[in-house]
Amino acid sequence: MLIIFAVLFSFFSYSCESSAQENDQKLDPYGGYLNIKTEPTGRFYVKELDDRYFLITPEGHGFISLGVTHTGGLLRGNAEEAEFFKTVWMGNHEKAAQVIKSNLLSWGYNSLGYDSNFKTPKILPFMADCYTSRNSLWKSKKDFHFEDVFSDDWKKEAKLKIQAMVRESKDSPFLIGYYWTDMPAWDLDYAKRTMGSNWVDYIRSLPVESPGKKRYLEFLADNAGKENDQLFLRLIAKEYYKCIGEETRRLAPKSLIFGERYQGRALNYDIVKEALPYIDVVSVQPSGVEFMEKEFDKLHEISGKPILICDHQCSFPTADHSKTIWKQLESVEAVNQAHNEYFELAFSKPYMIGYHRCQYINRYKKGKLKQGLIQSNGEPYKGLVENVLKANKKVHSKFLHNTQN
């Protein structure tokens, strides 16, 4: 196993070095395109240049974020992953971070999504995140919970989480920006269907003396006793985003706010509108194989902001795992074709500033494989990583050579 790892590490380090030598005249230290130049500010920010949105690196160069999420999952570990981390990397977080960096760069990635190895923010552009609500749609019903956002207790707790997130990351020039909750259950019908309740139902069920129930009764009185769940949901969102938005902006006035990571199949445009005063980018975790062109076009039209695909993939069965998370296609070849078509259309959109692939290393959930770019023993899925390198290089080439059409 150690021999296999040594060969892999040597290969990927070489690939990374070769790639760096090839691009050292084209990219800045953050991966920004030297030919796309604007004002340096020492922080990442967003700017529209020649009718196209770009992230801008601290040195003032255009940057399209091609990243991978959950590199931190390696350190939490299923049994195989924990053993791999212990025996191959000797429990050394810095060594793990360097190998992750080498691998990602050698596959054409330039950044990290959320949930990253805590050492990698020092060496690659990254996203910081915290959970200001417990209503993520992927949670079990036991752990899932709505919040009384009108209560001082929730506001205090949410602010403490934001303060911790900013404190841990604010001094890193590699910070791209901040996220809040992942896949929040905003849409009334979808939440009711999948979780058995929705946010308005929850507030309505609170005790009479609770802040949320008092606000709901005020709402009814103002509307002659008529219930309007969608309208009250917007009031929940207004209160929620005002609290977390103002606190994040107060603590990090010069940093980008990417907001919540909305689930594509449950997009609620009314809720996005309430978040707009506090966010710089709309972040979406789409499902399915095909790029949601109409939905993304509408979202940009409504928001007037750039969009980041913050978590996405499709998967294929393996000899050991016939059941996989995300949309499953019949083979790695089919996944590669779908991925290439997705990229082609997504990056034809002038509002698209990045794509973050879900999962660095294999993980398992309820007997299903959450497929990574590498297997649990550290060996890459060769056909998969070869294709993502080609797809990523094509995106980079588009902007390195100013062929944006």
> For residues 256 and 41, is the Cβ–Cβ distance under 8 A?
no
Listed residue (44, 26, 46, 45) closest to 36, CA to CA: 26
- pLDDT per position in the chain (405 positions), as tens? 333 343 344 334 434 444 443 455 699 999 999 999 999 999 999 999 999 999 999 999 999 999 999 987 666 555 555 566 666 666 677 777 888 899 999 999 999 999 986 666 568 999 999 999 999 999 999 999 999 999 999 999 999 999 999 999 988 999 999 999 999 999 999 999 999 999 999 999 999 999 999 999 999 999 988 899 999 999 999 999 999 999 999 999 999 999 999 999 889 999 999 999 999 999 999 999 999 999 999 999 999 999 999 999 999 999 988 999 999 999 999 999 999 999 999 999 999 999 999 999 888 877 789 999 998 778 899 999 999 999 999 999 999 986 444
Write down the pLDDT at residue 21: 38
Task: Enter the tokens of residue 267.
Answer: 């997009």
Cβ neighbours of 374 (radius 10 Å): 21
Q: What's the pTM value of the predicted model, to 2 decimals?
A: 0.91
d(Cα 126, Cα 173) in Å, to the nearest integer?
10
How many Cβ atoms from other residues are within 10 Å of residue 207's Cβ? 8
Are 102 and 10 a contacting pair, CB within 8 Å?
no
CA–CA separation, 21 and 69 (whole Å): 26
DSSP designation for 329: -
CB–CB of 85/99 below 8 Å?
no
Q: Looking at residue 195, what is its pLDDT?
A: 95
**Cα torsion angle, 217, 219, 221, 225, sign:** negative
20: left (phi over 0), alpha (psi -120 to 50) or beta: alpha
Residue 344 CA to residue 287 CA, distance in Å, equals: 17
**φ and ψ of 401, to 5 deg:** -110, 15
DSSP states of 261-306 as a string?
Answer: EEEGGG--HHHHHHHGGG-SSEEEE--SSS--HHHHHHHHHHH-S-
- The span from the CA of 149 to the CA of 318, in Å, is 44
How many whole angstroms separate alpha carbon 224 and alpha carbon 70?
48
Count CA atoms closer than 13 A to 276's CA, side-chain side. 16
What is residue 364's predicted lDDT score, i.e. its pLDDT?
81
Tokens of 32: 């920004």
